[in-house]
């Protein structure tokens, strides 16, 4: 942190932090700036616990706002085209697992055959492919403890994995049998994307697609969080808020359908729109005032 590096811990002021935030705003996105701020908070807390004199200025300055990123997903038709285009590809199972279970790119590229149990329909995520500062490709521990997880495999994934050639310890190695570089995988993903005639989305969109589909299918948020390896259900709810809004509207619609007969309305009709769907409430025939009759929903 060049802008505050020379500043003593006990001399840190809100103005120093404002300059740091301004410098970050010129160089990185909001989410990265937020992470830098929170890392600084953690470091200062450790220094305080060790008895070092530390200024309280960090508590007087709000962290930068995270960047709002649009969640890009594939439609069901685009998923079908993707799976059709992937049929027969040596990495077909990789794409299947990604779009059905939301497993990250690094977790897939670093997956060893020892973590796949087709008889029990299980896959264990215990590491992720990454690149060191020296440019070496290695498998490291997952980003959080929650990312270390065991997943039940859908039959489509079992079928694709059973047809995957075994070329070494890794399920999807590079041409030399070692970890596939991310750049190489990106080229192969782009080629598949072109064959499938789907939008130019990045590979991470498959993870968003899996999560969105699971939530739209009615799976509880904590189940989806476990599938994705999120450390907190709150993370899942924050990222996929657009889906939970749809789920809320579906919940209200189900309540209306269940209890509509118990509600009463004035004569005539009430009309409105919810979630893009037009609705109206019609007073039953013969009702001449409030307190009589039942509500009927029509769409």
pLDDT tens for residues 196-250?
A: 999 999 999 999 999 999 998 889 999 999 999 999 999 998 889 878 666 667 6
C-alpha span between 152 and 231 (Å, rounded): 19
Look at 271 and 93; give whichever has higher pLDDT. 93
Is pLDDT of 3 > 80?
Answer: no
The pTM for the full model equals 0.69
Q: Model confidence at 134, in pLDDT bands (50, 70, 90)?
A: confident
Helix (H, G, I), strand (E, B) or coil at 270: strand
- The pLDDT, as a whole number, for residue 287 is 42
- 3-state percent helix, strand, coil for the chain, nearest multiple of 5: 50, 10, 40
Other CB atoms within 10 Å distance of the CB of residue 40: 17
Other CB atoms within 10 Å distance of the CB of residue 214: 22
- The pLDDT, as a whole number, for residue 245 is 66
- The pLDDT, as a whole number, for residue 55 is 92
Q: Model confidence at 28, in pLDDT bands (50, 70, 90)?
A: confident
Look at 161 and 289; give whichever has higher pLDDT. 161
Q: What is the mean pLDDT of residues 270-278?
A: 57
The answer to whether 216 touches 243, Cβ cutoff 8 Å, is: yes
Q: Model confidence at 290, in pLDDT bands (50, 70, 90)?
A: very low
The answer to whether 161 touches 93, Cβ cutoff 8 Å, is: yes
Burial of 209 (0-12, 13-18, 19+ CB in 10 A): buried
The answer to whether 163 touches 92, Cβ cutoff 8 Å, is: yes
**What DSSP designation does 68 have?**
-
- The pLDDT, as a whole number, for residue 136 is 87
Is pLDDT of 297 > 50?
Answer: no
- The pLDDT, as a whole number, for residue 209 is 96
- The pLDDT, as a whole number, for residue 267 is 46
Percent of the chain beyond pLDDT 70? 82
Q: To 10 degrees, what angle do helices 205-216 and 92-101 make?
A: 50
Helix (H, G, I), strand (E, B) or coil at 265: coil
- The pLDDT, as a whole number, for residue 68 is 67
Percent of the chain beyond pLDDT 90? 61
Look at 44 and 281; give whichever has higher pLDDT. 44
Q: Model confidence at 99, in pLDDT bands (50, 70, 90)?
A: very high
C-alpha span between 216 and 247 (Å, rounded): 7
Q: Model confidence at 298, in pLDDT bands (50, 70, 90)?
A: very low
Q: What CATH topology corresponds to 76-241?
A: hpI Integrase; Chain A (1.10.443)
Q: What is the mean pLDDT of residues 27-45?
A: 88
Look at 46 and 261; give whichever has higher pLDDT. 46
Length of the chain equals 299
- The pLDDT, as a whole number, for residue 162 is 96
Q: Give me the residue spans of the domains in the chain.
A: 9-60, 76-241, 263-298
Task: Give the torsion through C-alpha atoms of 180, 186, 192, 194, to 10 deg.
Answer: -160
- Order of strands across the sheet with 116-117? 116-117, 122-125, 149-152
Q: Which residues contact 232 (CB under 8 A, 6 or more apart)?
A: 146, 225
Residue ranges of E strands in the chain: 116-117, 122-125, 128-131, 137-140, 149-152, 269-274, 277-282, 296-298
- The pLDDT, as a whole number, for residue 266 is 45
Other CB atoms within 10 Å distance of the CB of residue 128: 22
């Amino acid at each position: 942190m060049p802008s505050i590096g020379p500043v003593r811990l006990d001399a840190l002021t809100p103005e120093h932090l404002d300059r740091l935030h301004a410098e970050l705003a010129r160089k990185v996105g909001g989410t990265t700036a937020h992470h830098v701020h929170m890392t600084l908070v953690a470091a200062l807390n450790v220094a305080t616990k060790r008895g070092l004199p530390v200024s309280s200025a960090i508590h007087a300055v709000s962290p930068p706002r995270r960047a709002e990123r649009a969640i890009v997903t594939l439609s069901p038709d685009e998923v079908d085209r993707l799976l059709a285009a992937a049929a027969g590809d040596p990495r077909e199972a990789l794409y299947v697992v990604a779009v059905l279970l939301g497993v990250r790119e690094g977790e897939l590229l670093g997956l060893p055959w020892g973590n796949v149990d087709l008889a029990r329909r299980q896959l264990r995520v215990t590491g992720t492919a990454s690149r060191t500062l020296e440019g070496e490709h290695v498998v490291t521990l997952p980003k959080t403890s929650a990312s270390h997880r065991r997943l039940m495999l859908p039959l489509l994934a079992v079928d694709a994995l059973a047809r995957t050639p075994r070329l070494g310890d890794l399920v999807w190695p590079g041409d030399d049998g070692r970890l596939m570089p991310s750049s190489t995988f990106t080229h192969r993903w782009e080629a598949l994307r072109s064959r499938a005639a789907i939008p130019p989305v990045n590979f991470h969109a498959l993870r968003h697609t899996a999560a969105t589909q699971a939530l739209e299918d009615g799976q509880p948020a904590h189940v989806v969080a476990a599938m994705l390896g999120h450390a907190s259900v709150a993370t899942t709810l924050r990222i996929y808020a657009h889906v939970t809004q749809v789920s809320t509207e579906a919940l209200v619609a189900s309540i209306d359908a269940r209890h509509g007969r118990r509600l009463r309305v004035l004569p005539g009709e009430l009309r409105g729109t919810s979630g893009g769907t037009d609705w109206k409430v019609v007073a039953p025939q013969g009702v001449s005032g409030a307190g009589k009759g039942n509500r009927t929903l029509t769409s």
